[in-house]
Amino acid sequence: MTMSTTYTRRTKDQLAARVAQDIFDGAVVNLGIGQPTLVANHLPQGREVILQSENGILGMGPAPEAGEEDYDLINAGKQPVTLLPGGSFFHHSDSFAMMRGGHLDICVLGAFQVSATGDLANWHTGEKDAIPAVGGAMDLAIGAKQTWVMMDLLTKQGVSKLVKECTYPLTGIACVKRVYSDLATIECTSQGLKLVDLVDGLSREELEKLVGLPIAAA
């Protein structure tokens, strides 16, 4: 599938900044392993966002400066983090009680596939010898008030990760509200996909061709 040369994909940091832009003041947010952790570095100045990590941290700050890392203070992805004034750490079970109890306003997760109606597949591709470890993703996907996905829209082979129906094992059903990608921001609804925004130079019609699904106008 050929792609237009008139637009530029969002970089990982630009994508993280786009996600951060939509997180409201006072939100309690879990950032999943991988790309979503970058969101912590792009939260708007003066906006209070309380970051939670499933290994038992509340009140994380941005990533530490080089040389300032403390490997006794890490997130669920084993990356060193900082702790803001008033932050705390606690038992794993208390963390999962927060996640399962509906106390998180937003979680931001990566994904292998997301269906048009918001089904999420992000833990196993079915490949032989892959480690089938769902971790806390299913608790986050269902327990958070809003689940957002942050991902590249296409695989390296040019195949859309937004699909009519997921073919990989599901993490959660109809749980994803919004997909933030390198090419567009798209809502998942019970009626299908709805456009929020696009990178400059990309049309909705071109996006529909890339995804292979209808996408309602914003």
Q: Which of 54, 127, 165, 208 is catalytic?
A: 54
Neighbours of 215 (CB within 10 A): 21
Rounded to whole angstroms, the Cα distance separating 76 from 64 reads 16
- DSSP, collapsed to helix, strand or coil, labels residue 16 as helix
Tokens linked to 34: 């991988």
Question: Contact, 188 vs 53, CB < 8 A?
Answer: no
Amino acid at 123: W
CA count, 13 A, side-chain hemisphere, 140: 28
Rounded to whole angstroms, the Cα distance separating 166 from 175 reads 13
- DSSP, collapsed to helix, strand or coil, labels residue 119 as coil
Question: Contact, 129 vs 137, CB < 8 A?
Answer: no
Question: Contact, 90 vs 83, CB < 8 A?
Answer: no
User: Is 208 considered catalytic here?
Assistant: no
Question: Contact, 104 vs 136, CB < 8 A?
Answer: no
* Catalytic positions, written as ranges: 54
